[in-house]
Amino acid sequence: MPTKEDIKKYQKQLEEARTHLLSEIVEIEKGGKPINPRPDVEDIEDLANDAEETGNAMSVAFELKERVGAIDAALNRIASGTYGVCKNCGGEISKKVLNIVPESGLCENCKKSL
């Protein structure tokens, strides 16, 4: 099990990652181009490129939001005292795993079995 000091370290990492990810999401969403065709663009390739860029940005933003959700869940586990306990088998999540992915809710064995 992670010590109290470890948990404080992971909590700080998680909070910093969350802040960074949320600012990235805001930037992506600010820079998003409308999918609707623009009247000033007559070239279909330009319209297709704009649509592809928008789709890519939306996909990245979705993935970042998923990670924020995982971080929020980890912060909730810290608050409830269940951080470092596998949600699947109830075993300990090793420091090795938490050092790589501090928001992880699964131990190494359960991750492998997915």
What is the C-alpha to C-alpha distance for residues 24 and 1, in angstroms, rounded to an integer? 32
In the three-class reduction of DSSP (H, G, I as helix; E, B as strand; rest coil), residue 7 is classed as: helix
DSSP 92: B
Q: In the predicted model, is pLDDT for residue 28 greater than 70?
A: yes
In the three-class reduction of DSSP (H, G, I as helix; E, B as strand; rest coil), residue 113 is classed as: coil
Q: In the predicted model, is pLDDT for residue 39 greater than 60?
A: no
Print the SS3 string covering 68-109.
Answer: HHHHHHHHHHHHHCCCCECCCCCCECCHHHHHHCCCCCCCHH
Token pair recorded at residue 85? 């306990």
Q: Averaged over 21-44, what is the pLDDT?
A: 71
Tell me the pTM. Answer: 0.81
In the three-class reduction of DSSP (H, G, I as helix; E, B as strand; rest coil), residue 85 is classed as: strand
**Residue 22's pLDDT is what?**
95
When pLDDT is cut at 50, 70 and 90, the band that residue 55 belongs to is: confident
**Could you report the per-residue pLDDT of 60-80, keeping only the tens digit for each?**
999 999 999 999 999 999 999
What is the C-alpha to C-alpha distance for residues 85 and 83, in angstroms, rounded to an integer? 6
Domain ranges of the chain: 4-83
What is the C-alpha to C-alpha distance for residues 108 and 97, in angstroms, rounded to an integer? 7
When pLDDT is cut at 50, 70 and 90, the band that residue 47 belongs to is: low
